[in-house]
Amino acid sequence: MELRQLRYFIAVAEELHFGRAARRVHIAQPPFSQQIKGLEEEVGARLLERNSRKVRLTNEGRYFYKQALDIVAQAEEAAATVGRMAKGEYGNIKVGFMEIAMDSLLPEAVRSFSHRYPGVSVRLSQFGASIQLERIHSGELDVGFSTVYLRAMEGLSSVKLFSRKHVLAVPEDHIFTAEKSVSLKEIARENLLMFPRSGQPDLYDSIMQAFTSRGLVPKVRQEISGLSGASALISSGMGVTFLPENSRVARKGIAMVPISDDFPRMDIFMVWNSEDYSNTAGVFMEWVADYFSVSKAFAGKVSG
């Protein structure tokens, strides 16, 4: 039994006329009639009663008509879905991110992608940089967003999406809020809250180097594990920290002060397995790259 035969039967069941049904499916009537006869022989039942004046469905024919509609619809839906999958317009992608990386325009990029490709489910999971790289390498994640530049890991590639200036986040009643900008010499006298070095070693070391190159030793009093924790500590007067310019975690009780000295920027990278990624992941990465107007570098093997 072929889908073509089911479509022929649906046509005659709806037209109740062999000539009109044959024209509807663009086939001559004699071979059309032979296809219907062959279908009846295959199912072992008469599906249609016909005479010189009219055609009508038998009880078996009415049942078979309903089933044929479902089968053809399911087949067409499956074919359409597979086609969308091949184009990367349907499926699932697993995306890892660092909290600080999503404190930016990235959420808008992901949201706009989901609006454009509603058939793709984007599953977001928060991980540190090292765990992201491990899971991308193992295939547990398709794409990652991190502040860590990828130096060398077999099969992985990265591209910088954007860069942001740092500002100093201070309590809103801090003396620095009266200044247009603040120097590292002034910051070195403050209790500094820092994200753990293990999470973003390159950035951490660059920040420390900015101080030591000026003969300064910052007073790192406490490590902070997340943006919400940082906001709470700063607003309560426990210290100051560096955050990306226009950070979304700014809350009541916190002010942002520009830094006058040269200071490391926060770079956000997209990381992926260049040796094996799905069509859907490729479409997602291209969308994100276009969103941030960066060159595409998605060479490698694309899995189905």
Per DSSP, 265 falls in state P
Give me the pLDDT at residue 141, please: 96
142, 95 Cβ separation under 8 angstroms: yes
In percent, the amount of the chain with pLDDT more than 90 equals 59
Mean pLDDT of the 123-131 span? 89
More confident residue, 51 or 240: 240
Mean pLDDT of the 186-196 span? 93
Give me the pLDDT at residue 51, please: 78
Residues 6+ apart with CB under 8 A from 132: 96, 97, 98, 141, 144, 146, 271
> In the chain, which segments carry CATH 1.10.10.10?
3-86
76, 271 Cβ separation under 8 angstroms: no
More confident residue, 286 or 85: 286
Give the separation between CA 246 and CA 93, rounded to whole angstroms.
29
Please report, as a single letter, which amino acid is at residue 175: I
Helix (H/G/I), strand (E/B), else coil: 230: helix
Q: Is 261 exposed, middle or buried (0-12, 13-18, 19+ CB in 10 A)?
A: middle
Range from 14-28, 138-152, 250-264 carrying the lowest mean pLDDT: 138-152
Name the residue among 256, 289, 248 with its Cα closest to residue 271. Answer: 289
48-50/55-57 β-pairing: antiparallel
Report residue 7 as tokens.
Answer: 């479509």
Helix (H/G/I), strand (E/B), else coil: 262: coil
Work out the mean pLDDT of the chain and round it to a whole number: 88
Supply angle C-alpha 39, 41, 47, rounded to 5.
65
Give me the pLDDT at residue 99, please: 82
On the question of pLDDT at 199 being above 60, the answer is yes
3-86: CATH class: mainly alpha
Q: How confident is the model at residue 25 (pLDDT cuts 50, 70, 90)?
A: very high
Per DSSP, 176 falls in state G
Return the CATH number of the domain spanning residue range 91-161+269-303.
Answer: 3.40.190.10
> In the chain, which segments carry CATH 3.40.190.10?
91-161+269-303, 166-264
184, 262 Cβ separation under 8 angstroms: no
**Fold held by 166-264:** D-Maltodextrin-Binding Protein; domain 2 (3.40.190)
165, 193 Cβ separation under 8 angstroms: no
On the question of pLDDT at 65 being above 60, the answer is yes
165, 244 Cβ separation under 8 angstroms: yes
Residues 6+ apart with CB under 8 A from 197: 204, 205
302-303/277-278 β-pairing: parallel
Please report, as a single letter, which amino acid is at residue 83: G
Mean pLDDT of the 209-232 span? 89
